[in-house]
Amino acid sequence: MANRNVTEFVLLGLIRNPEMQKVIFAIFLIIYLITVMSNMLIVITVVFSQSLVSPMYFFLASLSLIDVFYPSSMVPKMLVDLLCEKKTISFNACMTQLFLEHFFGTSEIALLIVMAFDRCVAICRPLHYMTIMNHRLCCCLVALSWTVGFLHSLGQIFTIVWLPFCGPNVINHFACDIIPLIQLACTDTFRVGLLVVANAGLISMISFVVLMFSYVVILRSLKNYSSAGKRKALSTCTSHITVVVLFFVPCIFMYLRPVTTFPMDKTITVFYTLVTPMLNPLIYTVRNEEVKNAMRKLWNRKVASDTK
């Protein structure tokens, strides 16, 4: 590990106005609680519902689980800092936060690709769908998504942890992210910047192109479906595409560029780490009657058991 004088970092936070910090704390706390509860509701619904046995819902529950952990890697610290005058984070805690952020973020990218593959098989090979997407393969694909996230995050940590940090130690952000950290290193970081673009930016862009191509294939395959089948498939695909766009466009903007920061970076980070995970359950459930019906049945079952 490189020699360093910095043992902690000072976070400038989201905004400087103390009064506005309290308002934003209340808003973000509500959003975070909604995010955690709504995603956990989907996980519980899929796990305990006997009607949601399709691989699509298994992947949806896995995505919702990630959407609980992903904002939790940064938001609690941000909420605490909104109420504190001095916002500091130790070097080790900063590296842990960076690892978790990229671990869950990349796992979500990989899982979205898996979900697109699942829809391709379901629509292009409907008669062989359950044979191909058996339970063992589904578990392997989810495990592969988490493994990809782990390896990517490990690469990001190794990129940063070997850099010398001699000071200053002030990060113009509310969280530890790779680009603001690179800018604090007291060495030439041109090659490191290229590694970041290749490891994060290109991965996001290539994954986004692959996903869009897969949905083009899916939409072309719908010409052989009935009107009812087309509507159902289009509803599912529209939900998936919406989630993909909301997640990937901010990530591509953040990482597929030279190592520099912009004033809007904090807002964009809030969007894809907090707002998007909150919207995902709404996107997937509002247009999905099976999930809504399963939730109603679970609620009615709970009410019936409570009244006994």
Place of tokens 């901010």: 250
pLDDT at 93: 93
* Token pair for 77: 């610290």
Pair type for strands 8-11 and 88-90: antiparallel
pLDDT at 303: 64
Residue 136's Cβ-count burial label (10 Å; 0-12, 13-18, 19+) is exposed
pLDDT confidence tier of residue 63, bands split at 50, 70 and 90: very high
The H or E element that residue 10 is part of is strand 8-11
pLDDT at 158: 86
Average pLDDT over residues 5-34: 89
Helix (H, G, I), strand (E, B) or coil at 30: helix
First-to-last C-alpha distance (Å) of the chain: 62
Q: What is the C-alpha to C-alpha distance for residues 170 and 192, in angstroms, rounded to an integer? A: 20
Cα dihedral value 16, 77, 35, 180, nearest 10: 70
pLDDT confidence tier of residue 308, bands split at 50, 70 and 90: low
pLDDT at 296: 83
Count the alpha carbons within 13 Å of 208 in the hemisphere toward its beta carbon. Answer: 19
pLDDT confidence tier of residue 108, bands split at 50, 70 and 90: very high
Residue 304 has pLDDT above 70, yes or no: no
- Domain architecture of the chain: domains with CATH: 8-302 (1.20.1070.10)
Residue 108's Cβ-count burial label (10 Å; 0-12, 13-18, 19+) is buried
pLDDT at 34: 94
pLDDT tens-digit readout, 160-213: 888 888 878 898 888 888 888 888 888 887 888 787 777 777 888 888 898 888
Q: What pTM was computed for the model?
A: 0.89
pLDDT at 233: 73
Please state which of the ranges 47-61, 137-151, 229-243 shows the lowest mean pLDDT. 229-243
Residue 1 has pLDDT above 60, yes or no: no
Query: Nearest-CA neighbor of 59 among 20, 107, 128, 102?
Result: 107
Length of the chain: 308
Q: What is the C-alpha to C-alpha distance for residues 304 and 298, in angstroms, rounded to an integer? A: 10
Count the alpha carbons within 13 Å of 189 in the hemisphere toward its beta carbon. Answer: 23
The H or E element that residue 172 is part of is none
pLDDT confidence tier of residue 241, bands split at 50, 70 and 90: confident
Bridge partners, residue 90, by sequence: 8
pLDDT at 168: 83
What integer best gives the mean pLDDT of the chain?
A: 86
Helix (H, G, I), strand (E, B) or coil at 171: strand
pLDDT at 88: 92
Taking the CA atoms of the chain, what radius of gyration do you get in angstroms? 21
Under a CB-based contact definition with an 8 Å cutoff, are residues 201 and 256 in contact?
yes
pLDDT tens-digit readout, 64-82: 999 999 999 999 999 999 9
Residue 3 has pLDDT above 60, yes or no: no
Q: What is the C-alpha to C-alpha distance for residues 162 and 242, in angstroms, rounded to an integer? A: 38
* Token pair for 235: 């509803």
* Token pair for 274: 């907090």
